[in-house]
């Protein structure tokens, strides 16, 4: 059985004071937690996370990484820099980056490759818009998004990624995919991983993201191919994040 993985995506939220309170609050309620846990934070706070979390049960990571390995790319942060702060994870291809920064699936694939090259675990996000779902295109859209990554990576690297299915219409809207809707897509993603990487696909964590909260986490996490959650809003409140962790 795959261990559950609960990842908080803080997005562009936080301050030194708020982060310290949040991390303290989470650490105080972890007794008995069975899930693996991580927080993906804005880059300026990686040092703070390393200082606060080193040696403990919560891993940390970033929300984006450059496809390039370094040099004249103003504003970019490369995978080696994330490793320098002992990051374990980096989110790539979040729908907010695809939508607001024009990131293509090909670029996302290069970012995943760059992360793996430095020993980081990329959390590859895929997801359809409401319009795409209503047009019956969900499987095609998420299949093409994951496909670009699977095409670029060697088969033996596929087992080292994490995938996150985040329907765009469920992010920050309070609208969640039903457990059945999510499971259907997760099973499809698993089949696609298996076609590329064989049995290594069975070890890949496929997370659900999109308005996951204490009230719906248990039911979502009970699905056979939902291996955890990528949590936005609820990851900013220690009690809510803990409730989701304890729902695994
Ligand atoms: P919400 O949990 O706020 O809907 O955000 C989900 C998300 O985008 C996590 O990456």
Q: Residues 6 or more apart from 11 whose CB is under 8 A from it?
A: 63, 96, 232
Question: pLDDT at residue 103 above 80?
Answer: yes
Per-chain mean pLDDT for the chain: 97
Task: Determine whether 94 is an active site residue.
Answer: yes
Residue 15 CA to ligand 1 centre (angstroms): 19
Determine what percent of the chain is predicted with pLDDT higher than 90. 96
d(CA 219, CA 69): 41
The reported pLDDT for the residue numbered 125 is: 98
pLDDT digits (tens, 9 = 90+) for 200-247: 999 999 999 999 999 999 999 999 999 999 999 999 999 999 999 999
d(CA 243, CA 59): 18
Question: pLDDT at residue 5 above 80?
Answer: yes
Which range among 47-51, 87-91, 173-177 shows the weakest confidence by mean pLDDT? 173-177
Helix, strand and coil content of the chain, in percent to the nearest 5, comes to 50, 15, 35
Number of domains in the chain: 1
Question: pLDDT at residue 1 above 90?
Answer: no
At residue 167, the 3 state secondary structure works out as coil
Which of 211, 214, 237 should be mutated for ligand 1, with most atoms under 8 A from CB? 211
Question: pLDDT at residue 121 above 80?
Answer: yes
Longest dimension (CA), the chain: 48
Give me 214's structure tokens: 């204490």
Nearest residue (by CA) to ligand 1, atom 5, is 232
Question: pLDDT at residue 148 above 80?
Answer: yes
Question: pLDDT at residue 174 above 90?
Answer: no
Taking the CB of residue 16, how many other CB atoms lie within 10 A of it? 10
Compute CA distances 84 → 24, 46, 61, 77, 118, whole Å: 23, 10, 11, 11, 10
Bridge partner list, 37:
6, 58
The reported pLDDT for the residue numbered 38 is: 98
pLDDT digits (tens, 9 = 90+) for 55-71: 999 999 999 999 999 99
Residue 105 CA to ligand 1 centre (angstroms): 20
Atom of ligand 1 nearest to the CA of 211: 4
Residues in the ligand 1 pocket, defined by CB under 6 Å:
9, 94, 166, 171-172, 209-212, 230-234
Q: Which of 94, 96, 186, 246 is catalytic?
A: 94
Q: Which of 96, 128, 166, 186 is catalytic?
A: 166
Give me 27's structure tokens: 């650490």
The range of the structural domain enclosing residue 85 comes to: 5-246
| Burial classification of residue 139, based on how many CB atoms lie within 10 Å of its CB (0-12 exposed, 13-18 middle, 19 or more buried) | middle
Task: Determine whether 186 is an active site residue.
Answer: no
Question: pLDDT at residue 175 above 90?
Answer: no
We report the CATH number of the domain holding residue 125 as 3.20.20.70
């Amino acid at each position: 059985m795959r261990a559950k993985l609960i990842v908080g995506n803080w997005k562009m939220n936080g301050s030194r004071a708020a982060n310290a309170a949040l991390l303290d609050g989470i650490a105080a309620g972890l007794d008995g937690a069975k899930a693996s846990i991580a927080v993906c934070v804005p880059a300026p706070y990686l040092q703070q996370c390393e200082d606060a979390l080193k040696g403990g049960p919560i891993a940390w990571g970033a929300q984006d990484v450059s496809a390039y390995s370094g040099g004249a790319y103003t504003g970019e942060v490369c995978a080696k820099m994330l490793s320098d702060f002992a990051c374990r994870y980096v989110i790539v291809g979040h729908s907010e980056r695809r939508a607001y920064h024009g990131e293509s699936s090909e670029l996302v694939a290069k970012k995943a490759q760059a992360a793996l090259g430095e020993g980081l675990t990329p959390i590859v996000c895929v997801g359809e818009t409401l319009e795409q779902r209503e047009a019956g295109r969900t499987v095609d859209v998420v299949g093409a998004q994951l496909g670009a990554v699977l095409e670029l990576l060697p088969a033996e690297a596929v087992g080292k990624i994490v995938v996150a299915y985040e329907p765009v219409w469920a992010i920050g809207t309070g609208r969640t995919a039903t457990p059945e809707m999510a499971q259907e897509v997760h099973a499809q993603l698993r089949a696609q991983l298996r076609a590329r990487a064989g049995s290594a696909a069975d070890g890949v964590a496929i997370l659900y993201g999109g308005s996951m909260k204490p009230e719906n986490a248990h039911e979502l996490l009970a699905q056979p191919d939902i291996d955890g959650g990528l949590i936005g809003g609820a990851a900013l409140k220690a009690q809510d994040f803990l409730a989701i962790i304890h729902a695994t």
